Chain A
Amino acid sequence: MKGPLVAVGRQFGNLTLLVAACFAVGPIALLVMNAFKPHVEIVGDPIAFPHHFYPHNFVAAWTEGHFATGLVNSLLLCGTTVLIVVAAAAMAAYPLARSQSRIWRIVALYFLCSVTVPIQLFLFPLYFVFAKFGLLGNVFATAVILAAINLPLSIFLLRTYIMTIPAELDDAAVLDGAAPFQVFWHVIFPLMRPGLATVAAIVCLAVWNEYLITSTFQQGEKNFTMTLGYLAMNGSISDDQGLLMAGGLIVIVPILLVFLGTRRFIIDGMTTGAVKG
């Protein structure tokens, strides 16, 4: 009696999973399909497959969205932020993982506090100070802000990675006469490379997609990132769906490649923080 019931239940579960996958991918599939159709065809039937290959949308979207400039700015912003976060977080995570004294518990609390501060709470003074010093639109200055926002969680993530490295390795190096910095550089740093890759990938995604800080501080067309260029394009040519969909595809392809290439690290990093092992 139980056999067929279980089989039906399992099929029902499969169906539910299929529906969930379609829900997740559906809008992205619509974007991809319609990116290859001219506007009139989309308005006629948005859920039809493209009849023929129509690459014109991509050529027009590339210039309309100023994606050449955007790509350079996005890469500079991502690269600078990742470098700052990885360097500063790796170094700060080491004492937090290894020292038991009360000072470091306070330091951990300090970083924890800054996570719960809403961006709006520090955005306004920061904006007016940056404006005063002419730093608005400066990719590197904006990268410093994004780095500070991404630092605390990166530190906590790297701390858990360092804690999996046996402290005996440190002790052995110290016995061999290594100074604390040498222990870090020659023993810990090489062993925490998977953690560093995870942090780099997660921060890269976060910066590429960030909206509030980037749009507030990277004003002016020549300072736009790819996503901001796309947003501006949405405002100026909202009457051509084909162009908009092609622009969207251009913006998401680089980040999807990064995600697919580093998915192991990213998923690992996400679950490390939230799931107690």
Chain B
Amino acid sequence: MNARPHPTMDAAVKPSRRLLSPGVSRHLTYGLFALPAIVLTGAITLVPGMLTLAASLTDWDGVSMPTWAGGANFHDLFADVAFWRAIFNNVQWTVLFLTLPMAGALLIASLLRTRTRIQALYQVVLLLPYVLSPIVNVIIWSNIVFDPVGGLVGYINHHLFPLADPLAQPSAALYAVAAIDMWHFWGYLAVIFLGAIRQVPEEQLEAARLDGAGAWQMFRFVTLPNITPTIGLMAVMVTIFSFLTFDYVYLATSGGPGFSTLVLSVLAYNSAFTSLAVGRAAAVAVVMGLFGVLASVAYTRLTWSGAR
């Protein structure tokens, strides 16, 4: 505790500096700086998150006192067809999102690399669907695109060939909802990939060109290795979000028809607010959280082994 005031310091303005050493005072201030964010995060997400962990082991309707149920919620869940259907749908969703939007975004981003004059314009155009609300996007698509009377589907059905509303068909509904969400999301990926591609060292590309590499070879052997970390990060993000996906499914179909578009988040939400089975909803949420943890661990493994 050796206070050594700087010669130019005006002691009358900062008397506290005399009581504490600069290091301690700095750490205290730093702690105070971070305090609001720490408290807010803890109070809103982490503490209620732990409460949910606890609630998953109880019978609770959200109003009266919860009663201990042990593993009964999980036991019931694992015996429920709807739960396994939801997991299967989440997996399908993940596979769809890891392939179509990723490939499309990579293609468009690499096409934009050499067209520098239209890059700024395309960033805006591609992000337009991304900055719109899921509510608006779902209403646009279900009314003006998928609607069998006043939509594009109705138009095609009337003038070109028979086509039914895909949202109403159990075999097509999941893909139709995913199509809306992918339309909304893929432009974001394209903008991120373009940002990464623009950072690929020009010398490497030039060297490959001088060696006679074609467009595909330059992409495969220069661009792709350079942006692999970004692709990996996006793949993990997409996987995590695919297991959390809620908005588009709930708004477009609420999980129906039947269980055809049911995903874990919708199952949890309906359990809590429709059936008032909060313990059961909590159990579903815990399973969702586990998938998130798994994806994060997989990513850490991936990046660590890749770096060695």
Q: A residues within 8 Å of B by Cβ?
A: 9, 13, 16-17, 20-21, 23-25, 27-28, 30-31, 34, 39, 42-43, 45-47, 84, 87-89, 91-92, 94-96, 98-99, 104, 107, 110-111, 113-114, 116-129, 144-145, 147-149, 151-152, 155, 174-177, 179-181, 184, 205, 208-209, 211-212, 216, 227-228, 230-231, 234, 238, 241, 244-245, 248, 251-252, 255-256, 259-260, 263, 266-267, 270-271, 274-277
Contacts and interface: CB of A to CB of B under 8 A. Distances in A.
A245 B139 CA distance: 9
Given A114-B46, A271-B191, A27 B144 contact: yes
9 contacts: A114-B41, A120-B265, A121-B288, A121-B289, A124-B272, A152-B41, A227-B136, A271-B196, A274-B230
B26 to A, nearest CB: 5
Contacts of A276: 229-230
B17 interface: yes
Given A47-B155, A148-B40, A180-B26, A30 B199 contact: no
Given A230-B136, A270-B192, A17 B108 contact: yes
- In the A-B complex, list the 5 residue pairs whose CB atoms are closest, starting with the nearest: A148-B44, A271-B195, A177-B9, A95-B30, A92-B37
How many B residues touch the partner, as a band? Answer: 35 or more
B122 A107 contact: no
Interface in B87-136: 104, 107-108, 111-112, 115, 118, 122-129, 131-136
A266 B127 CA distance: 10
Contacts of B230: 274-276
B192 A117 contact: no
Given A20-B126, A255-B132, 20 more contacts: A28-B132, A46-B151, A88-B36, A91-B37, A92-B34, A121-B49, A122-B52, A123-B272, A124-B52, A126-B48, A127-B62, A128-B278, A179-B16, A180-B29, A228-B135, A241-B144, A241-B150, A263-B124, A267-B123, A274-B234
B125 A24 contact: yes
Contact of A149 (B44, B115, B229, B278): B44
